[in-house]
Each structure stands twice: as structure tokens, then as C-alpha cells.
């Protein structure tokens, strides 16, 4: 009987971990994606000061600038990230990521990027 209680408790815990995991994993995944794919231009802290920023014709967007960022919709950001800057009328210095990132990963990155604007 005690074993059964233990097993069902362990089961409930495992189930809980399964339910909680995805959101956490997504947040961690986005931070890592940003570091790997985006920070070389946009900078680790989103200020647009990454190592490669100086090589571009257009300075990368500064995500800490709340005034600018509040005017950009999630839908526009999604398109810019997925299909590249040119798809939303920006310079093609902003590459397209449709080949490397799926829609969920892009949504995760948008949430992550919004976090750089601290009011
Ligand atoms: C090679 C440099 C480079 C890399 C790498 C890069 N970007 Fe950009 N990004 C830019 C430039 C340049 C712009 C355009 C800024 C402008 O026009 O003012 C931009 C603009 C943006 C915008 C603003 C879109 C809008 O509508 O204003 C978003 C969001 C963005 N990038 C997200 C990302 C994400 C997410 C990644 C990583 C997956 C990434 N960028 C990687 C250079 C880069």
C-alpha cells in the first residue's frame, strides 16, 4: 500500500514536471537561440551593439529602446525574423531565419526580445 502511494506520488510529480517543463524550456531555449543567432548583431543585452554590428550598413535594432519597440507589433517582428528585414521594408542586413528556426522558436524569441525593454 505504501509502495502504491509512493508510485502514484512519483507519477504525479513526473506529470507535473512534464507540464511545467515546456514553458521553462522555451524560455531557456529562446535565451540560447538569441545568444547563438542574434547577439552577434543585436548584442547580448539587445542594445544593437553586437560584435558584427559595425560591419553592417544599417545598425541593428536596439531592443532596449521602449519608444521604438512599442511601435513594432509582434506580427511585424515575426515576419522580420522569419522572412528577413526586407519582407517588412527594412534593409536585408536583417537576415531571414525561416530555414533555421520554427514558428514556436520565433515566438519565443519575440517574448525574449520584448524583455529587453524595461520600463
Ligand atoms: C547580421 C546581423 C543581424 C543578425 C544576425 C540578426 N539581426 Fe535582427 N536586425 C538586423 C538589422 C540590421 C535590423 C534592421 C534595423 C533597422 O532597420 O533599423 C534588424 C532588425 C530586427 C528586428 C526589428 C524588426 C522591425 O520590424 O523593426 C527584429 C525583431 C530582429 N532584428 C530580430 C532578430 C532576431 C530574433 C535575430 C536572431 C534570430 C536577429 N534579429 C539576428 C541585423 C541582424
Report pLDDT digits (tens) over 100-113. 999 999 999 999 99
Q: Which atom of ligand 1 is nearest to the CA of 40?
A: 5
Per the model's pLDDT, the better-predicted residue between 14 and 100 turns out to be: 100
Distance of CA 73 to the CA centre of its chain: 15
The rounded distance, in Å, linking the Cα atoms of 108 and 26 is 6
Task: Choose between 61 and 7: higher pLDDT.
Answer: 61
* Residues 42-81: tens digit of each pLDDT: 999 999 999 999 999 999 999 999 999 999 999 999 999 9
Ligand 1 near 106 CB (within 6 A): no
CB count in 10 Å sphere of residue 67? 7
* For ligand 1, atom 20: residue with the closest CA: 61
Q: What is the pLDDT of residue 57?
A: 93
Q: Tell me what the pLDDT averaged over the chain comes to.
A: 90
Centroid of ligand 1 to alpha carbon of 85 (angstroms): 7
Rounded to whole angstroms, the Cα distance separating 56 from 93 reads: 7
Q: What is the pLDDT of residue 20?
A: 62
Residues 96/82, Cβ–Cβ less than 8 Å: yes
pLDDT at 106: 97
Ligand 1 pocket, 80 CB below 6 A? yes
Q: How far is it, in rounded angstroms, from Cα 11 to Cα 109?
A: 32
**Straight-line distance from the first to the last Cα atom of the chain, in angstroms, rounded to the nearest whole number:** 55
The residue nearest atom 14 of ligand 1, judged by CA position, is: 60
Amino acid at each position: 500500500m505504501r509502495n502504491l502511494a509512493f508510485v502514484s506520488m512519483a507519477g504525479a510529480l513526473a506529470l507535473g514536471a512534464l507540464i511545467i517543463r515546456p514553458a521553462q524550456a522555451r524560455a531557456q531555449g529562446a535565451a540560447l537561440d538569441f545568444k547563438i543567432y542574434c547577439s552577434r548583431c543585436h548584442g547580448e543585452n539587445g542594445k544593437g551593439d553586437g560584435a558584427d554590428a559595425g560591419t553592417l550598413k544599417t545598425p541593428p535594432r536596439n531592443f532596449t529602446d521602449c519608444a521604438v519597440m512599442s511601435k513594432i507589433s509582434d506580427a511585424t517582428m515575426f515576419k522580420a525574423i522569419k522572412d528577413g528585414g526586407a519582407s517588412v521594408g527594412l534593409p536585408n542586413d536583417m537576415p531571414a531565419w525561416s530555414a533555421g528556426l520554427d514558428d514556436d522558436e520565433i515566438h519565443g524569441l519575440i517574448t525574449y526580445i520584448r524583455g529587453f525593454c524595461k520600463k
